[in-house]
Structure 1
Amino acid sequence: MPCQSSDELNILVKEAREYTKEGKVANYIPALGRANPHDLSIAIQYPDGQCISAGDIERKISLQSISKVISLALVLMDRGSNYVFERVGMEPTGDPFNSIAKLETLSPAKPLNPMINAGALVVTHMIKGNSIEDRFQRLLSFIREMANDSTIDYCEDVAQSEFKTAYLNRALCYFLKQHHIIEEDVEKLIDLYTKQCAIEMNCLELARIGMIFAMDGVDLESGKQIIPVHISRICKTFMVTCGMYNASGEFAIKIGIPAKSGVSGGIMGAVPGKFGIGIFGPALDEKGNSVAGIKLLELLSRNYKLSMF
């Protein structure tokens, strides 16, 4: 079913786009630094197949940290919650997403949650498979099934750009390896993780994945339970408590929907029982979230009373 342009969404996008000038693109990753900071687009996917949109929703964006929610779902399905949460915690943090500080002060030295970089690296380490390629293909196949698009792949340019500049992530991995939370070769894990973050799709496909989480893991179009209900709910809880980096508390108060952002400017939202949201706005605030994307979600939540609280 084609996605229909929405006059109401176009009005909200026009209002929110004014905030793009307050942010900056993620130029510390060279491939992401080439984005147009004034871009802003949104797709909303309903479980019956209907879709509404505004802006250039066909533009490809890399998942970046949005992939953390999806890899977590796969690993929980692979290994179970007891295994996973022995190695990564469940608590929010007020520290930046790439901070190493808490690892040095906690005992055992496991990451506080799967949405910060240290926790996401541990989760990616737990993806099952016989090789890096095998593990990546399992994650990619899972994403393709959720988005209902077998052509989704990763951007080699973005992956290489991130691999070459992933000094902090390497530091996190070596610290975690010292404490036996990570047991594999660090360069291989960084290779897998940067490819995971470089998986790209458009806003409509992102909204469809959000819709799967919103509907407790069910794809109502096919009738398939892609993610078990309890795992989908765990993921949505992390999206509420940790999904917007160290701005998650303010986001929950002002907007109040499960969401996950990425430094490409993408935001995936999952309004429980209703619909999925995919947003692209590459101008970021100081915490790494899309400035105009958050404003757009704030307008949506306020106008249509979407907050779950």
Structure 2
Amino acid sequence: MKKNSFLFSAKGIVLASFLSLNTITYAQKTAEVTPISEKALNSILEKNRAYYTQGKVADYIPELGKMDAKAIAFSVVDKSGKVYNTGDVSKKFTMQSISKIIALMIAVNEKGEANVFDKMGYYGTDKPFNHFGNLETMGKPLNPMMNAGAILTTSLISGDGEKPFVKVLEMVRYITKNQSIDYSKSVYESEKATGHRNRGMFYIMKNSGLISGNEDQLDNYFRQCSIEVTAEDLAKIGYFFANQCTRFDGDITYKNAETAKLIESQMLTAGMYEFSGEYSRTVGLPSKSGVGGGITVSVPGKMGIGVFSPSLDQHGNSFAGYHMILDLVKQYGLSIF
């Protein structure tokens, strides 16, 4: 009898533990699938709206300095492809460095990852986005997210004249399913007129043999940075890479798990420049910012997030945008860590 009692007791403990674990697992899953609503997004937006007062609109490119510092928008595309918007969602702004992930995808699709990364590194950095990095010492850009690497990436896209830029523009239009997207000619002209630092990087790489073309290739980079989008467009871009290069409406024309992993890993490693390490600790999601005030975020296997607020912190990232993302991640447990 004692032996049987012990067995029943042991089974009871195991069963209780199993039920307890299942309850925890169920609770975790329930928390994960708590539906996002525009009301919840608006609450987060309003909580963080005032952060714009602590930052500064980029003015080293004169046209960017004309942006309304108070403008703010928040967008999410959930797993099913449903879009949630709040704030100034119709407000257009230039992609700037967010265009780098699109150019990288195209270059890798055309040339292969090994060929592209033979010319640059996978490294993170503690330097700003426009730093020369190790161009003058090792001769190669640190990564494709800093300006030097991005200029090189765009130069690797095949085609003469504006063709590489057109490929980037068409890919942005495809991913967002928004054929009205175009680039701002005034921002492009402003970037070209003031882009002497980028021009210096271009010629150092040309001198070292990494780039063989002329300044048309640099102009393509300036143009891609000048592509105008909305926060919703950024959320759709985030969704695309979060779901193995599948579009938010289910279109799988470019589906490629390896390409998505590459892009997301670069976003996580260097997408927020020298703030990337701290951002990985606090937000824990692949993200790419631009000095136009936008940030696109991928929640792997799930959703895409897009934010916009042109007032930037000292790293060149949207001040209010970062805090909106941080609050959303905490509220819905979205970090990959």
Residue correspondence of structure 1 range 1-309 to structure 2 within 5 A: 6-106=38-138, 109-129=139-159, 131-185=160-214, 187-219=215-247, 221-309=249-337
Q: List 4+ stretches of structure 1 deviating above 4 A.
A: none
CA pair 227-78 structure 1, distance change in 2 beyond 3 A: farther
The structure number with the bigger radius of gyration is 2
Cα deviation 1:242-276 (Å, max 9, x = unaligned) = 00010000000000011000000000001111111
Q: Following TM superposition, by how much is the alpha carbon of 1:221 offset from its aligned partner in structure 2, in angstroms?
A: 2.1
One-letter amino acid of the counterpart of residue 168, structure 2: L
Q: Distance in 2 between matches of 1:289 and 1:136?
A: 24
Q: Counterpart of 1:103 in 2: which secondary structure?
A: coil
Q: 1:176 Cα shift? A: 0.8
Q: Secondary structure at the match of 1:36?
A: coil
**SS, match of residue 153 in structure 1:** coil
What residue in structure 1 maps to residue 21 of structure 2? none
TM-score, with structure 2 as normaliser = 0.87
Q: Which amino acid aligns with 1:248?
A: S
Check 1:101–1:202 CA distance in 2 against 1; reply closer, same or farther (3 A cut): closer
Where 2:88 maps in the other structure, the secondary structure is coil
Q: CA deviation at 1:73?
A: 0.6
Unpaired stretches in structure 2, ≥5 consecutive residues: 1-35
Would the aligned equivalents of 1:269 and 1:278 in 2 still touch at CA under 8 Å? Answer: yes
CA offset at residue 220 of structure 1? 5.4
Q: d(CA) in 1 for partners of 2:179 and 2:314?
A: 35
Root-mean-square deviation over aligned CA pairs? 1.3
Distance in 1 of aligned mates of 2:144 and 2:248: 28
Between 200-209 and 154-163, report the one with greater CA deviation: 200-209
Tell me the number of residue pairs that the alignment of Structure 1 and Structure 2 aligns.
Answer: 302
Deviations 1:184-208 (A, max 9, x none): 11x2122111101001111111111
Q: CA deviation at 1:101?
A: 4.1
Q: Residue 162 of structure 2 contacts residue 216 of structure 2 at CA under 8 Å; is this kept in 1? A: no
> How many Å separate the matches in 2 of 1:42 and 1:70?
21
Asked if the contact 1:146/1:226 (under 8 Å) is kept, the reply is no
Per-residue CA deviation, residues 155-199 of structure 1 (Å, 9 max, x unaligned), is: 1011111010000000001111111011111x2122111101001
Q: Is the 8 A contact 1:73 1:227 kept in 2?
A: no
Q: Over residues 17-45 of structure 1, what are the superposed CA-to-partner deviations in whole Å (9 max), with x where a residue is unaligned?
A: 12111100001111110111122111101
Q: Secondary structure at the match of 2:295?
A: strand
Structure 2: which amino acid aligns with 1:27? D
Amino acid at match of 1:95: K
Whole-angstrom CA distance in 2 between matches of 1:101 and 1:297: 28
Partner deviation per Cα, 1:34-93 (whole Å, 9 max, x = no partner): 111122111101242311121011111110000001100111101101110111111111
**Structure 1: segments with no counterpart, 5+ residues:** none
> What TM-score do you get using the length of structure 1 for normalisation?
0.95
